[in-house]
Amino acid sequence: MNRIELTKETYKKLFGGEALSGKGTDPELMDMLQKFIFGEIFHTGYLTDPQRELITIVTLTTMQTLLQLKAHTSAALNMGVLPVEIREAVYQCAPLIGYPKTLNAVNIINESFKERNISLPLKNETKVEEEERFDKGYATQYPLYGDEIKEKLKDLPGNFKSDIPRFLTEACFGDYYSRGGIDVKTRELLTLCILATMGAERQIKAHTLGNIKAGNSRETLIAAMVQCIGYIGFPKVLNAINIIKDLLNTDQ
């Protein structure tokens, strides 16, 4: 199929509507947008449709484009993504973008769930007890990152040199990576997409290597970045791709 046919088929599958309708106040922009995102980007690289929608959900959450987040929550459900997977993808954003933005996104996805008559709250996916947060967090963190953060912060004054790395281990890895709903491999991929959306270049470097250790291939990382283009633009995506390429020598 050509990109016009692909656009119409993909859009209908995701949203149940008609693409390239020529309607609205800016049909030319919508024509370009839909052909590019749904006729080209959505068919580039080896990602599943559920992966693409989860990636889109975390980029929209990070940018706080909440109207589009609601549409893509519905699209993700149409693609067979489980409500708990959508929730966990949004929760995964919290240690990176902060709680206020995450709460905004949670409110939006819950609206979509209610419209589908999905009972709330969803299943509790907490897997750690309060006293286990550090140990279980470290058990996930160390194979991916070792003691890199602790080493980099060891020259901070007073208790900061121990408190900040502990916060990261307990909050990021203990509270979030240890949860059920989606696995560590998926969480790492989504984290990389969140960081690309933020333009957080230093963290993109660290999480590129973390993704490889978690089992994501170079091709998957590049495909994930391409999936972000229509939402975060070329500059941030190309910056992230160049970081990945330089670290992993993907051009060789």
Domain ranges for the chain: 1-43, 48-121+184-252, 126-178
Q: What is the pLDDT at residue 1?
A: 83
pLDDT confidence bin for 242, thresholds 50/70/90? very high
Alpha-carbon dihedral sign for residues 24, 49, 227, 39: negative
| Token pair in block for residue 109 | 């996805």
Share of the chain above pLDDT 70, in %: 99
pLDDT of residue 71: 97
Provide the pLDDT for residue 210: 97
pLDDT in tens, 16-47: 999 999 999 999 999 999 999 999 999 999 99
Closest Cα to residue 82, out of 102, 58, 105, 53? 53
Instruction: Tell me the C-alpha distance between 86 and 84, whole Å.
Output: 5
Q: How confident is the model at residue 249 (pLDDT cuts 50, 70, 90)?
A: confident
Whether the upstream peptide bond of residue 121 has omega within 30° of 0, thus cis, is yes
Query: With 70 as the cut, is the pLDDT of residue 2 above it?
Result: yes
Region 54-62: mean pLDDT is: 98
Res. 160: pLDDT tops 60: yes
Strands, DSSP E only, in 19-87? none
pLDDT confidence of 195, banded at 50, 70, 90? Answer: very high
Residues written for the chain: 252
pLDDT at residue 244 above 50? yes
In the chain, what's the furthest Cα-to-Cα distance? Answer: 63
Domain spanning 48-121+184-252, CATH class: mainly alpha
What dihedral do alpha carbons 51, 53, 59, 65 form, nearest 10°? -170
Cα 193 to Cα 181: distance, rounded to the nearest angstrom: 18
Query: Is the predicted pLDDT of residue 252 greater than 70, yes or no?
Result: no
What's the mean per-residue pLDDT of the chain? Answer: 96
List C-alpha distances in Å: 89 to 8, 175, 180. 27, 14, 11
